[in-house]
Amino acid sequence: MKEDSGDAAIDGEKGEGQGSVVNEARMETDGGAGADARIEPLRAENERLREMMKIRDAKDEMTDVLRAAGARSPGLLFTYAVDDLQFDEQGRVANSAALVEKLRGSFPEQFGSDKPASIDAGAGGASQMKYLTKEILAKMKPTEIAKLDWAVVRRVLSER
């Protein structure tokens, strides 16, 4: 059985859970200044990453709220409102309703449905030539024929 000493762990043999203890011991032997110099950038990066995650979660939440409010471009509106976000203790957006109302007031054209108005592109598309034949004309009454376009009637009658 091997005796577990701190020297063995420093030499590269690590027992279970010894790595962090050894690293802390090394940092303490550096005099603290070296340890702070190595840890501080990591803490700053950690904080930056946490802030990025909070903003990402806020974007997901706000785009859902904006989409439910009828926003046409929720991602674009979120980009405009990101500086006004307020968070609660759990890291969720606390002022989402107020932001939606502010955005609705500032950009009313960004809210509503995207249904284009009909331009009646198909109106009049069904030509009388398609269903009008000599046989149908023969069965029609003179008053019905009088309602037809005479140019169409002439073309039908001139066909073979």
CA distance 63 to 74: 5
C-alpha atoms less than 13 angstroms from C-alpha of 57 in its C-beta half-sphere: 14
Angle at 113 between CA 107 and CA 119, to 5 degrees: 115
Q: Which of 126, 155, 132 is nearest to 145 (CA)?
A: 132
C-alpha atoms less than 13 angstroms from C-alpha of 108 in its C-beta half-sphere: 1
The 10s digit of each residue's pLDDT in 75-101 is: 999 999 999 999 999 889 999 999 999
Q: Where are the domains of the chain?
A: 20-110, 129-158
The 10s digit of each residue's pLDDT in 96-128 is: 999 999 999 999 999 987 677 667 665 555 554
Q: Which of 95, 94, 99 is nearest to 71 (CA)?
A: 99
Kindly state the percentage of the chain with pLDDT values over 70. Answer: 69
Q: For the ranges 12-16, 37-41, 134-138, which has the lowest average pLDDT?
A: 12-16
Q: What is the mean pLDDT of the chain?
A: 78
pLDDT value at 36 more than 70: yes
Q: Which of 134, 131, 133, 128 is nearest to 148 (CA)?
A: 128
CA distance 87 to 93: 5
| Burial (Cβ within 10 Å: 0-12, 13-18, ≥19) of residue 74 | buried
